[in-house]
């Protein structure tokens, strides 16, 4: 099969080639596996300037085709606008015509688009502009209500051959809004154990938060939890490993300086600090996310994959990743008191923490992997008439 994969934003800020979002990692890994299975894969993505670069997870030797960027916003790190500002009509029209032209010129058999509602619906619009091949849209997550009028949105969804997602949460959310989806699960992409290499981590004596330091990711909850427990557990390192972000909660560095065992580490990290090393020194990961950018949240799955249990918000697809009390722990959104109590008990029973980490790794590897991905997704293509 000749498979075109449309991912709107693949390039990121230079220096961040190995630090990219899950909505990029998943389609890149999907392309790699399909290529290794003998299929011809193409990446279609938005053009970018000299200040950005392609990620390390992009499979080598895959043809990349660039199209106009129709969005009215910048990237994750230097956002100049919001999702609500929508798209630039003329640039978007040029983008869509370019995608149709690429599909014809490369003789694609199927077009597979990845993203949230608008990207997953894109093939439906392209069919109106002359796209003749079957199309598939994968939803990393879903957002309702949609900005388009309901009749138009429903018409576009119906023009997409199949809509896929990885979680029951997104499937059920879509069903409530009249969109039929199918489950095709994936696994994690980053192998933190392999990335550790010959590096020697210290003892497991750390609580780790590794997300952008925003309210959406619950950085304010992390600060309250760390503040409550730092003096109670003076031998534990309470770490926030963060990237620069346009919506960062102010004052984090000054706040951390008030405590001997609280630290803020900023990417790119100092030479002797790496994410794998931090992970293997961690008793647990604290993840009080309010708004999930992808379902499931890969930062949770990647932590579990190396035997680190996660204490996370009981929200979205997270309860699908682990069983509360056995392979992870859940607390209500924004509830710093519940998270503090939970983590306090966790730090007081290291043997139980270790057992939970082992259960987390087994659960993740059994239920969230890539073993059937190629088989499942090519079965969808064939049902749409691709041979």
Q: What does the pLDDT profile of the chain (387 residues) look like in tens digits?
A: 999 999 998 998 888 888 888 899 999 999 999 999 999 999 999 999 998 999 999 998 999 999 998 876 554 445 444 444 567 888 889 999 999 999 999 999 999 999 999 899 998 889 889 999 999 999 999 999 998 888 999 999 999 999 999 999 999 999 999 999 999 999 999 899 999 998 899 999 999 999 999 999 999 999 999 999 999 999 999 999 999 898 999 999 999 999 999 999 999 899 889 999 999 999 999 999 999 989 999 999 999 999 999 999 999 999 999 999 999 999 999 999 999 999 999 999 989 999 999 999 999 999 999 999 999 999 999 999 998
130 and 262 together in one domain: no
181 and 205 together in one domain: no
64 and 156 together in one domain: yes
375 and 362 together in one domain: no
Residues 6+ apart with CB under 8 A from 123: 111, 113, 131, 135, 136, 137, 159, 160, 161
Residues 6+ apart with CB under 8 A from 8: 45, 46, 69, 71, 115, 119
327 and 340 together in one domain: yes
338 and 278 together in one domain: yes
What string of H, E and C letters represents the secondary structure of the chain?
CEEEEEECCCCEECCCCCCCCHHHHHHHHHHHHHHHCCCEEEEEEECCCCCEECCCCCCCCCCEEEECCCECCCCCCCCCCCHHHCECHHHHHHHHHHHHHHHHHCCCCEEEEEECHHHHHHHHHHHHCCCCCCEEEEECCCCCCCCCCHHHHHHHHHHCCEEEECCHHHHHHHHHCCCCCEECCCCCCCCHHHHHCCCCCCCCCEEEECCCCCCCCCHHHHHHHHHHHCCCCCCCEEEEEECCCCCCCCCHHHHHCCCCCEEEEECCCCCCCCHHHHHHCEEEEEECCCCCCCCCCHHHHHHHHCCCCEEEECCCCHHHHCCECCCEEEECCCCHHHHHHHHHHHHCCHHHHHHHHHHHHHHHHHHCCCCCHHHHHHHHHHHCCCC
230 and 163 together in one domain: no
Here the CATH number for the domain that contains residue 349 is 3.40.50.2000
- Domain span at residue 269? 192-367
Q: What pLDDT shows up at residue 81?
A: 47
110 and 202 together in one domain: no
280 and 351 together in one domain: yes
130 and 253 together in one domain: no
Q: Which of 384, 321, 54 is nearest to 186 (CA)?
A: 321
Q: What pLDDT shows up at residue 13?
A: 86
161 and 210 together in one domain: no
Phi, psi angles (nearest 5°) of residue 209: -115, 120
Number of domains in the chain: 2
232 and 375 together in one domain: no
């Amino acid at each position: 099969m000749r498979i075109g994969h449309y991912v709107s934003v693949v390039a990121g800020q230079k220096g961040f080639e190995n630090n990219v979002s899950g909505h990029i990692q998943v389609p890149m890994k999907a392309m790699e596996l399909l290529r290794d299975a003998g299929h011809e894969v193409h990446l279609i993505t938005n053009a970018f300037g000299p200040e950005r670069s392609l990620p390390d997870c992009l499979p080598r030797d895959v043809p990349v085709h660039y199209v106009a960027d129709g969005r009215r916003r910048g990237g994750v790190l230097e956002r100049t606008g919001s999702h609500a500002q929508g798209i630039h009509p003329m640039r978007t029209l040029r983008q869509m015509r370019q995608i149709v032209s690429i599909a014809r010129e490369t003789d694609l058999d199927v077009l597979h688009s990845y993203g949230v509602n608008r990207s997953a619906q894109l093939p439906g619009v392209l069919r109106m502009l002359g796209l003749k091949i079957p199309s598939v849209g994968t939803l990393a997550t879903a957002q309702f209500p949609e900005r388009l009028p309901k009749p138009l949105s429903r018409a576009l969804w119906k023009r997409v051959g199949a809509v896929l997602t990885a979680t029951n949460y997104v499937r059920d959310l879509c069903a409530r809004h009249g969109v039929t989806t199918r489950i095709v699960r994936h696994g994690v992409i980053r192998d933190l154990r392999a990335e550790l290499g010959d590096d020697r981590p210290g003892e497991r004596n750390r609580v780790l938060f590794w997300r952008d330091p925003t309210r959406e990711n619950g950085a304010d909850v992390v600060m309250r939890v760390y503040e409550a427990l730092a003096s109670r557990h003076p031998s534990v390192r309470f770490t926030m490993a963060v990237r620069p972000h346009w919506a960062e909660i102010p004052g984090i560095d000054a706040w951390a300086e008030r405590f001997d065992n609280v630290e803020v580490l900023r990417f790119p990290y100092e030479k002797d600090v790496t994410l794998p090393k931090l992970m293997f020194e961690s008793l647990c990961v604290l993840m009080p996310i309010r708004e999930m950018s992808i379902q499931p949240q890969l930062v949770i799955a990647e932590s579990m994959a190396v035997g680190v249990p996660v204490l996370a918000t009981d929200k979205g697809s997270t309860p699908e990743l682990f069983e509360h009390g056995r392979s992870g722990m859940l607390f209500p959104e924004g509830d710093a008191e519940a998270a503090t109590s939970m983590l306090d008990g966790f730090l007081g029973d290291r043997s139980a923490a270790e057992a939970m980490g082992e259960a987390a790794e087994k659960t993740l590897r059994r239920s969230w992997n890539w073993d059937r991905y190629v088989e499942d997704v090519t079965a969808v293509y064939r049902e749409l008439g691709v041979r």
